[in-house]
Amino acid sequence: MTSETQYTALNDENPWEDSDWIPSTAEFLLPKDRLEHMLLETPVSEVTSDVFVTVAPEDTMERALWRMRQHQVRAALVMEGEALVGIVTERDAVMEIKPGETGADVRVQEVMTPDPVLIGSAEPIGCAIQRLAFEGVHHLPVVDEMEAKVVGIVTQGPLLHRIIETILNEEWAAEA
């Protein structure tokens, strides 16, 4: 056996040789660090809901609420053309409209939150959680910084889901 064939033989036994699989940092972390790793490495775009409702500032709250109900969402982005000027949520309706009224005499611009807190689609999930937990908001419009436009909205639901999914996967892996 020449040295060249020996070399080939060794390579044949090497499971890494033709594989696309590259071990990620996550493979080497302790289980308790996995959640932190997920929070730091997953971009917001993965938990962004791209179903979002837009309304105009001069629309009535009745219309905004109707559109939210129609799409099963809790907030609508207030757009003036391509520009995001505010966000209006069910909470704003609760603050301003009396039960039994429909909101037909209330304009979106009177109750919306102007200049909402935003998040970039490439930022980590941990950053979104920090804003939801401490900025006093429940909906974060997600902006694509490259294209400079709103691409969706992120809320607690998908974030909680991602967290619990990571925790459970971790525990199943530990038991296996």
List contacts with another protein (CB under 8 A).
35-36, 39-40, 62, 65, 68-69, 74-75, 87-95, 97-103, 111, 113-119, 123-124, 126-127, 129-139, 156-157, 159-161, 163-164, 167-168
Task: State in angstroms the smallest separation of the CB of 81 from another protein.
Answer: 19
CA distance 176 to 172: 6
> Which two three-digit tokens encode residue 19?
């594989």
Closest to another protein by CB, 6 vs 149, is 149
Task: State in angstroms the smallest separation of the CB of 97 from another protein.
Answer: 6
Closest to another protein by CB, 6 vs 105, is 105
CA distance 71 to 52: 8
Measured CA to CA in angstroms, residue 1 lies from 4, 5, 14, 33 at distances of 8, 6, 19, 48
Q: Does an H or E element contain 73, and which?
A: none
Closest to another protein by CB, 36 vs 58, is 36
CB 146 within 8 A of CB 166: no
CA distance 151 to 124: 16
Task: State in angstroms the smallest separation of the CB of 10 from another protein.
Answer: 41
Task: State in angstroms the smallest separation of the CB of 82 from another protein.
Answer: 17
Closest to another protein by CB, 8 vs 161, is 161
